[in-house]
């Protein structure tokens, strides 16, 4: 008897009229379907097939895309997005980098999946500097971070607290005006002077009168050198971050340098803390002068002693917060002020409108006060446009998903380093008309603010990890720029050309410092005292 083929067998079953044929056919169908079901279940037993990783440039073995990175990461990432799309991946050694460059994808990361992306990918250098990452910038999301955030936003940087220390800010800005007045007709480094102004404001707010006279001046210079070196180091790619197995060797010496800078901070903080405690001890509970001190350090020391027992603030937390205020508040505000003055100088019509507004609101026989700021809508628009073109942190602070998730149809693995390129989004021609033009009028309708709710414009970030110092930054930059424009006309030294190019870092800087000549424009010398 010849062997039947499968097709013959199936045909006979289908054509069979007896009960056995129908039974065998039914069993064959059931077995076949069961086999396919088993194969499918085995293949996808962990769930639906995962989405693919985002596209990206091809890398080399072991090093990935590290060797092709451009130092100007913000513009380099924007160029890659033109080729690979608004979400892309980079192999950074053993680390996977994800770059997001569109408003809709930024919304998914910072709002839709806010909790998943609420952590940071802490660089080795930052961990060495920030007391093991115990500050508000790097601490993982959780009770400890919420305690630090509450202290900063509700206590230290609330509008009520900032109002209470206005005279400290006013004093430093008036001293800067006096300095520029003394240099009238001569070139001055605007960014350098604004850095020292902001630094003196912040240290005054932090520990008030505990450091005075010549000691305060020398402390300011020391801080300036330390902060500058810190921001430079944080902007450098570190092999220890991309190959964790090599971190213990610190091949570039970044951790060693950061540790040394951290020790400088620690010595300074210990000194001012000891002096503050000494003043309180000598004053005693019944001494009014001791109780009248309202600097932030006094508040932090009190909060540490009387704070939440479930999530207590330690001395390490306290010093880490002081460092956040000094490092995070100086470069960002002073660089924004420098860019803002430079952009205004580059557009005489903008300077004319801003000074006309100031004359209308303040007058030429008075000086600018912070109470005038909310009456200056055009100058507010100038600040917003400056932050659109030159956001202080062009890639924000990198986020790190606490679990694998999907963004834009692509898998973002747990532990990736996620860059949100706010610089590129703010220059997206599909969002902004003539995006490279400096045009404050685009903000004249108050459509955009700093809340991070509109992902076409979010210079301070968005979501849980939005910048805690927005109110302080807005007051400081607006008060400084309003005062400088009201008090002086500004021009470049003869033969100099204004350069608005940027230098990438964790904090955006002007590549060529702004050197300008102030000319007094108020009628009475007493207005410059």
- How far is CA 329 from its chain centroid? 11
Cβ distance 330 to 199 under 8 Å?
A: yes
Burial (0-12, 13-18, 19+ Cβ within 10 Å), 431: middle
Counting DSSP H helices and E strands in the chain, the numbers are: 19, 12
- How far is CA 393 from its chain centroid? 4
What Å distances lie between residue 173 and 167, 176, 401, 479, CA to CA? Answer: 10, 5, 42, 8
DSSP bridge partners of 488? 520
pLDDT of residue 91: 96
**Whole-structure pTM value:** 0.87
DSSP characters for 6-60? HHHHHHHHHH--SHHHHHHHHHHHHHHHHHHHHHHHHHTTTSSPPPPPPP----B
Cβ distance 227 to 191 under 8 Å?
A: no
Q: For residue 263, what are its two tokens? A: 């020790």
DSSP characters for 456-500? T--TT--GGGS-TTHHHHHHHHHHHHHHHHHHEEEEPPTT-----
DSSP 64: B
Measuring CA to CA, which residue among 118, 157, 500, 105 is closest to residue 341? 500
Q: Which CATH architecture has domain 66-528?
A: Orthogonal Bundle (1.10)
Axis-axis angle for helices 315-346, 348-361 (nearest 10): 110
Cβ distance 81 to 424 under 8 Å?
A: yes
Cβ distance 205 to 515 under 8 Å?
A: no
3-state secondary structure of 91: strand
pLDDT of residue 205: 86
Measuring CA to CA, which residue among 454, 334, 469, 471 is closest to residue 397? 469
pLDDT of residue 13: 45
Cβ distance 451 to 131 under 8 Å?
A: no
Cβ distance 190 to 338 under 8 Å?
A: yes
Cβ distance 527 to 487 under 8 Å?
A: yes
DSSP 112: I
- Quote the CA–CA distance of 207 and 47 in Å, as a whole number: 56
Q: What is the pLDDT along the chain (529 residues), one digit of tens a residue?
A: 444 554 554 455 455 455 545 554 555 555 556 655 665 555 545 556 789 999 999 999 999 999 999 989 999 999 999 999 999 999 999 999 999 999 999 999 999 999 999 999 999 999 999 899 899 999 999 999 999 999 988 888 889 889 988 998 999 999 999 999 999 999 999 998 998 899 888 888 888 754 455 565 566 667 777 787 888 788 788 999 999 999 999 999 999 999 999 998 899 899 989 988 887 777 666 554 444 556 889 889 988 988 777 889 999 999 999 999 988 889 899 999 999 999 999 999 999 999 999 999 999 999 999 999 999 999 999 999 999 999 999 999 999 999 999 999 999 999 999 999 999 999 999 999 999 999 999 999 888 999 999 999 999 999 999 999 999 999 999 999 999 999 999 999 999 999 999 999 889 999 999 999 999 999 999 999 8
Q: For residue 214, what are its two tokens? A: 């010549």
The sign of the dihedral angle between the CA atoms of 343, 348, 349, 350 is: positive
Cβ distance 422 to 105 under 8 Å?
A: no
pLDDT of residue 288: 46
DSSP characters for 377-396? HHHHHHHHHHHHHS-SSTT-
pLDDT of residue 7: 52
For the chain, what is the largest distance between any 2 Cα atoms, rounded to a whole number of angstroms?
Answer: 122
pLDDT of residue 123: 93
Cα three-residue angle 453-459-462, rounded to 5 degrees:
40
- Quote the CA–CA distance of 82 and 521 in Å, as a whole number: 47
pLDDT of residue 22: 55
Chain length of the chain: 529
3-state helix, strand, coil in the chain (%, to 5): 55, 10, 35
pLDDT of residue 393: 95
């Amino acid at each position: 008897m010849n062997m039947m083929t499968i097709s013959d067998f199936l045909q006979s079953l289908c054509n069979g009229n007896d009960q056995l044929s129908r039974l065998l056919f039914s069993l064959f169908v059931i077995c076949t379907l069961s086999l396919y079901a088993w194969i499918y279940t085995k293949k996808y037993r962990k769930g639906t097939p995962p989405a693919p990783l985002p596209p990206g440039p091809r890398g080399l073995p072991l090093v990935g895309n590290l060797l092709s990175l451009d130092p100007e990461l913000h513009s380099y990432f924007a160029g890659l997005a033109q080729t690979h799309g608004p979400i892309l991946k980079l192999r950074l050694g053993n680390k996977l980098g994800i770059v997001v460059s569109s408003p809709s994808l930024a919304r998914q990361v910072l709002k839709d999946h806010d909790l998943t992306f609420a952590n940071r990918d802490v660089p080795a250098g930052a961990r060495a500097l920030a007391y093991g990452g115990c500050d508000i910038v790097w601490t993982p999301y959780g009770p400890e971070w919420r305690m630090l955030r509450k202290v900063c936003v509700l206590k230290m940087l609330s509008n009520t607290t900032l109002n209470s220390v206005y005279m400290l800010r006013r004093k430093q800005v008036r001293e800067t005006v006096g300095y520029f007045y003394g240099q009238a007709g001569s070139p001055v480094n605007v960014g350098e002077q604004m850095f020292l102004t902001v630094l003196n404001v912040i240290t005054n707010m932090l520990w008030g009168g505990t450091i005075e006279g010549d000691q305060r001046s020398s402390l300011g210079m020391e801080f300036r050198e330390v902060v500058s070196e810190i921001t430079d180091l944080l902007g450098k790619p570190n092999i220890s971050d991309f190959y964790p197995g090599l971190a213990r060797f610190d091949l570039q010496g970044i951790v060693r340098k950061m540790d040394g800078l951290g020790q400088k901070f620690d010595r300074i903080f210990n000194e001012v803390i000891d002096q503050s405690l000494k003043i309180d001890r000598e004053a005693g509970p019944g001494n009014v002068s001791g109780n009248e001190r309202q600097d932030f350090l006094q508040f932090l020391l009190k909060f540490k002693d009387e704070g939440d027992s479930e999530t207590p603030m330690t001395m390490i937390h306290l010093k880490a917060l002081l460092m956040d205020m000094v490092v995070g508040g100086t470069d960002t505000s002073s660089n924004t002020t420098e860019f803002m003055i430079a952009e205004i100088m580059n557009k005489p019509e903008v300077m004319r409108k801003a000074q006309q507004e100031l004359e209308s609101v303040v007058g030429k026989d008075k000086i600018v006060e912070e109470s005038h700021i909310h009456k200056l809508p055009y100058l507010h628009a100038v600040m917003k446009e400056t932050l659109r073109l030159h956001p202080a942190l062009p890639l924000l602070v990198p986020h790190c998903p606490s679990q694998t998730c999907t963004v834009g149809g692509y898998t973002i693995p747990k532990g990736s380093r996620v860059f949100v390129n706010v610089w590129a989004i703010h220059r997206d021609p599909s969002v902004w008309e003539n995006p490279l033009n400096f045009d404050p009028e685009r903000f004249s309708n108050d459509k955009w603010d700093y809340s991070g709710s509109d992902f076409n414009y979010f210079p301070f970030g968005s979501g849980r990890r939005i910048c805690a110092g927005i109110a302080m930054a807005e007051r400081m930059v607006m008060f400084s720029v309003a005062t400088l424009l009201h008090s002086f006309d500004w021009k470049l030294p003869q033969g100099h050309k204004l350069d608005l190019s940027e230098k990438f870092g964790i904090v955006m800087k002007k590549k060529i410092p702004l050197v300008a000549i102030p000319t007094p424009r108020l009628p009475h010398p007493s207005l410059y005292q």
